[in-house]
Structure 1
């Protein structure tokens, strides 16, 4: 009897509140679909802004910078561009001079600063990072005790067999994103998880764990102590940049690796550890590997380098005995795009290694300092790790 009265009261309350809930809802504009990838590989971008005076499309990485958009009677601005070469690209809108993300799109570029939206233009044949009908690994977020009492964040990929073969241990690839990128970027933009799923299923890459740390522990410390986030480093080879790289090295070697090896089934020796990174992450890779030869046998530098002057000053342990270095590193890999602003420095670094008789694998592609090229670097290196 009491239950019956209770539900009558609930129904009465709902009848009273529903009209007011409807009144509280803000007015809704037209439903916007954006981006829309068309069959001819052109893409239609749309943005609802009935009161805006101008809306521009920003997609410089697919050749469309500040493209004017046209407003319809409902206040939706649109433009169709392309066809666009299949890949994954960042884009944004500039609304009356203010750069914004696409609110109709849930895919975005993880970054410390502005987070652009992402559009994927699929190829006719499945791309190397396509979602295929193969066994899939898992992606996990982890928190660990980091430098200066802070808490660090890391993203971990484990291959499909990890949860089933509970006695099996795996090699580990420590993979570091670039300047202002986050620990999510190699996953959400680089698609390393899907690439490895496909390669492992095809037998072209060994099953491995991939650990993706956040490359800016100084920012985490500032965030957790109520301080302002440190500004971006302007001089990549300057004293401040090197100090920050050393802090990351300390975090990786003293905190990240011990945490991973305690909490995951890993093969804990240098022959089963690889380190790689893009841009700033590539610089962190080279310096960490050269300072810790006892910990890494595979080293992959994606669009990065160390200047010859720094090599002569800080890394004579690498150049003094090239025969030992060539034996220590089973792979020293360097990749760069011909239009990359770091191309010249990377070539000088490779020429330096060659003059010092240090063995390395060089890969040169077209394109610039982009995550489109990063996926090419991954495609070249993932199959040769731990072989």
Structure 2
């Protein structure tokens, strides 16, 4: 057992090993080695007059093998980093070697490459303090020098094509930021833009592309790349996230490495093969080596990684294991390498939160590299798959409330129990204000932590309150599980919940928190099992709750004898229920939701009885993305 624990914990350490399916996207060995017996291009130094700076400035020019003044060529402007000059790429990146080799393999469109000095000032040397304010400012000034001086000079002196679809700009680090700033800021000048490990000089995404639709229309290729160990990854990722959110097609290329020329030479190798030729945008999502570590990973864990097309790479170290699988609803066999590291890449995984386990020689365990969550009746790993439209539970610069964990003694169940409680922003400072309360229940196999952790309740409410879409409220997340003898959805279990909420939870909250009392200030909601609890306790106590929310739930259609008493009560008290409730809000995850058919049958009975309700669907099945969206919408209805 001790040996097993040791190799399970080894998964916490980063270990890089080849993954053949994705690593074909890396430059092959020898791509940057000079080769004899092939045609070679030529590197020249030129001097051009700069009205922007007021002096003549230098640049290097690469002309391709077979260069002829009788032909016209597209142009790539290739920019250096903050500590370099026009010779940095030539000295450290050897673009002429990389490009010569690609030409010899027939992989490039013939092009001229211009390597300028991106520090537009009279003394544009990299010597001295490279972070001096005037030198940093000169990188921004280069935009004017590039557009008004360098490009006109190149187009006057060289046989080049002079339209936007035949101009590209790309660069590394500071030059990557310049490329994004200048390229995306001048879509009438450049159709091909590449940012390699872009530095913090990169403008914020909304400044880069205030009009995403225009960019999508005009850009031929937008390339964003970065090494997975680069501390500047956040610059590239925030740009990628904005582009994805706004439907701007682009390549987000993540590769092994840090902030160095090994990465940037590989970027040039990949990027140069794509420009000035037809581009298959449908393949963009697969054009990467690595993914981004999941937000649900523990600190510093590199895996699992999420690829742009929502496939997931899993890795764990278990050298003595005979068989390892990932159980993500579907089981994926993992493959072991010579170092004892097991790897697997899934198909595209649907949006939102998913439980998963590793199965090592038949034993399901939580992945040591992942945060764990109480779900499926035990602690399990979880992975969050981002998607367009998840902004409503993003962490934003707004006032934030708190999640508090409180122990209380339950007279109803004769024991100590626990609550998670969300208090809104300003609760501790606005000491005269009283708040309405939403009592929010988890599903089967989960507990009171579910809505706080998997459900992102605090972020959803923080954002809604900041946007004035929801009233400030307290949310109480109680444990809906009880003793072994009354588990499940039977009458005893549901009665135990009703007693708990009425006799223990509400009295505790109203005695210890500044809450507004009365049914108009109470709402009860829940998902799946919690939805049945809401139906049972809420419908029977409409004098206590004005709002009921039933998410992915319904009285079970295949056990009519169990719920006949509930329907009888509703039939006999339909007028009271309709008069007392301001909202009976019922939602489902569409036809793929396992509770869908039960719910439809239940709603048919409600219609027969004349019970008033509001119904909505959100696609996604019986999953947390659906329930987060349910809370987002229900919270905007209650207490208004």
Identify the TM-score tier after normalising by the shorter chain: 0.7 to 0.9
Over aligned residues, Cα RMSD in angstroms? Answer: 2.2
Q: How does 1:1-387 map to 2 (within 5 A)?
A: 29=10, 31-32=13-14, 33-60=302-329, 65-105=330-370, 107-111=371-375, 113-123=377-387, 126-146=390-410, 147-218=412-483, 229-230=484-485, 233=488, 236=489, 241-306=490-555, 313-314=565-566, 316-337=568-589, 338-387=591-640
Q: State the alpha-carbon separation in 2 of the partners of residues 54 and 93 from structure 1.
A: 10
> 8 Å contact 1:110–1:188 — kept in the other structure?
no
> 8 Å contact 1:152–1:217 — kept in the other structure?
no
Cα shift readout 1:321-344 (whole Å, capped 9, x = no counterpart): 534322210000111221222222
Q: State the alpha-carbon separation in 2 of the partners of residues 53 and 255 from structure 1.
A: 51
Q: State the alpha-carbon separation in 2 of the partners of residues 92 and 43 from structure 1.
A: 14
Q: State the alpha-carbon separation in 2 of the partners of residues 344 and 40 from structure 1.
A: 31
- Deviation for aligned residue 1:232: 5.3
Q: State the alpha-carbon separation in 1 of the partners of residues 486 and 574 from structure 2.
A: 38
Q: State the alpha-carbon separation in 1 of the partners of residues 398 and 347 from structure 2.
A: 32
- Deviation for aligned residue 1:368: 2.4
> 8 Å contact 1:319–1:325 — kept in the other structure?
no
Judged with a 3 Å threshold, the aligned counterparts in structure 2 of structure 1 residues 311 and 182 are, in CA distance, closer, same or farther, namely closer
Judged with a 3 Å threshold, the aligned counterparts in structure 2 of structure 1 residues 325 and 124 are, in CA distance, closer, same or farther, namely closer
Judged with a 3 Å threshold, the aligned counterparts in structure 2 of structure 1 residues 311 and 58 are, in CA distance, closer, same or farther, namely closer
Report the secondary structure of 2:392's partner residue: coil
Cα shift readout 1:166-196 (whole Å, capped 9, x = no counterpart): 1100000000111121100011111111111
TM-score calculated relative to the size of structure 2: 0.51
How many aligned residue pairs are there? 341
Cα shift readout 1:59-115 (whole Å, capped 9, x = no counterpart): 12xxxx11111112221111223443442222111111111111012x222237332
Q: State the alpha-carbon separation in 1 of the partners of residues 354 and 454 from structure 2.
A: 9
Report the secondary structure of 1:47's partner residue: strand
Cα shift readout 1:24-49 (whole Å, capped 9, x = no counterpart): xx798571332123445432211111
Cα shift readout 1:176-233 (whole Å, capped 9, x = no counterpart): 1111211000111111111111111111111110000000132xxxxxxxxxx45853
Cα shift readout 1:217-257 (whole Å, capped 9, x = no counterpart): 32xxxxxxxxxx45853xx4xxxx11011011101100110
Q: State the alpha-carbon separation in 1 of the partners of residues 429 and 391 from structure 2.
A: 28
> 8 Å contact 2:373–2:454 — kept in the other structure?
yes
Q: Which moved more, 1:253-262 or 1:113-122?
A: 113-122
Report the secondary structure of 2:635's partner residue: helix
- Deviation for aligned residue 1:145: 1.3
Q: Which moved more, 1:374-383 or 1:190-199?
A: 374-383
> 8 Å contact 2:461–2:632 — kept in the other structure?
no
Q: State the alpha-carbon separation in 1 of the partners of residues 601 and 390 from structure 2.
A: 36
Judged with a 3 Å threshold, the aligned counterparts in structure 2 of structure 1 residues 312 and 92 are, in CA distance, closer, same or farther, namely closer
Structure 1: runs of 5 or more not aligned: 1-25, 219-228
Report the secondary structure of 1:182's partner residue: coil
TM-score calculated relative to the size of structure 1: 0.82
> Which has more radius of gyration?
2
Q: Which moved more, 1:48-57 or 1:306-315?
A: 306-315
Q: State the alpha-carbon separation in 2 of the partners of residues 297 and 71 from structure 1.
A: 57
> 8 Å contact 2:351–2:625 — kept in the other structure?
no
Q: State the alpha-carbon separation in 2 of the partners of residues 47 and 174 from structure 1.
A: 40
Partner of 2:97 in structure 1?
Answer: none
- Deviation for aligned residue 1:317: 4.8
- Deviation for aligned residue 1:126: 5.0
Judged with a 3 Å threshold, the aligned counterparts in structure 2 of structure 1 residues 99 and 248 are, in CA distance, closer, same or farther, namely same
Report the secondary structure of 1:91's partner residue: strand
> 8 Å contact 1:305–1:346 — kept in the other structure?
yes
- Deviation for aligned residue 1:140: 0.5
Structure 2: runs of 5 or more not aligned: 1-5, 15-301
